[in-house]
Amino acid sequence: MDGYLKEFTKHYCQTAAGCNAQKELPTATLVRQIIETATEHANILGIGYNELIRENNAWVLSRLAIELNRMPRMHEDYSLTTWIDSFNRHFSRRNFVLESSSGEILGYISTVWVAINIKSRRPADLSSIADMEKMTFQRECRVTSKGRIKPDMRHDIAKSYLFATTDIDFNRHVTTARYVELIENQFDLDFYDRNEITHFEISFHHESVWGERVDIYTQMNEATGESYSMIHSEKNGAVCTSITTFRPRVKIA
């Protein structure tokens, strides 16, 4: 395996304190853990923040797609296993499998990361990482992308939000999880009591910062169970767009 840890697994336990109202792992928390697991593996491989920042470069999540059988439940042990599927000099595709401690496949995740120069905010060139090809690994990842998420769709529901202090990460930009929470909060608690997410996909177009006001637009297709959302700012236009697919929730006895 060329001396590289091509697969990396991080273990978790779904505590009661970390559950949502449906006694499950919240989607935004899963997204945080996806980023956390990817970061740890990149550090192990020597392509993490400390290495890239030497040339003022950093990884930025560009697209994320989650295919779910179900979410981890309260008091359940589970794990995320990640590997680099492919790369070029600007982008890297990193996949994940979400698995219970009993071996049940709970879901798959596919992510696309772009390396950017943090000073110019332009794509960085990673061709100098000569061994990155040796770090890739091929494994099944059952995620079906919905394709390009158009930011010019019609909108049915609109809410406004002003980004505040706890929305900001160490780069002084809005966290990925906050975007996910804003999209999920378009629906009320009763909706999530009756429905669960089977697919969530988000594509990022611009960064947002502290004090920026955005509008969250959502269109629900009742026939297909698909919800289309866009977070829009007056300054940058579409900040991110997403598709969520729901199905009726089966109650656990």
Beta bridge partners of 24: 73
Beta bridge partners of 66: 109, 200
C-alpha of 224 from chain center = 23
Can you read off the two tokens belonging to residue 155?
């909108």
Residue 153's pLDDT is 54
Q: How many CB atoms lie within 10 A of CB 138?
A: 10
Residues 253, 251: Cα–Cα separation, whole Å: 6
Residues 247, 253: Cα–Cα separation, whole Å: 18
The SS3 of residue 222 is: coil
Q: Which of 56, 11, 249 is nearest to 171 (CA)?
A: 56
From residue 247, give the alpha-carbon distance in Å to each of 174, 192, 218, 225.
30, 10, 17, 7
Instruction: Name 82's Cβ contacts closer than 8 Å, sequence gap at least 6.
Output: 7, 8, 9, 34, 37, 38, 41, 94, 95, 96
Residues 28, 176: Cα–Cα separation, whole Å: 8
Lateral strand order in the sheet of 57-68: 8-13, 77-87, 91-100, 105-117, 57-68, 195-204, 237-248, 226-233, 213-221, 157-162
pTM: 0.92
Residue 253's pLDDT is 45
Residues 122, 205: Cα–Cα separation, whole Å: 13
Q: Which of 177, 223, 222 is nearest to 202 (CA)?
A: 177
Residue 1's pLDDT is 46
Residue 156's pLDDT is 63
Q: How many CB atoms lie within 10 A of CB 112?
A: 19
Residues 138, 200: Cα–Cα separation, whole Å: 23
Residues 205, 93: Cα–Cα separation, whole Å: 17
Per-10-residue mean pLDDT, the chain, length 253 = 84 97 97 96 89 82 96 98 90 95 97 86 74 85 79 67 95 94 96 97 94 93 91 91 93 57
Residue 56's pLDDT is 80
Supply the DSSP string of 144-184, one letter for each residue: -------TT---SEEEEEE--GGGB-TTSSB-HHHHHHHHH
Residue 21's pLDDT is 97
Residue 123's pLDDT is 80
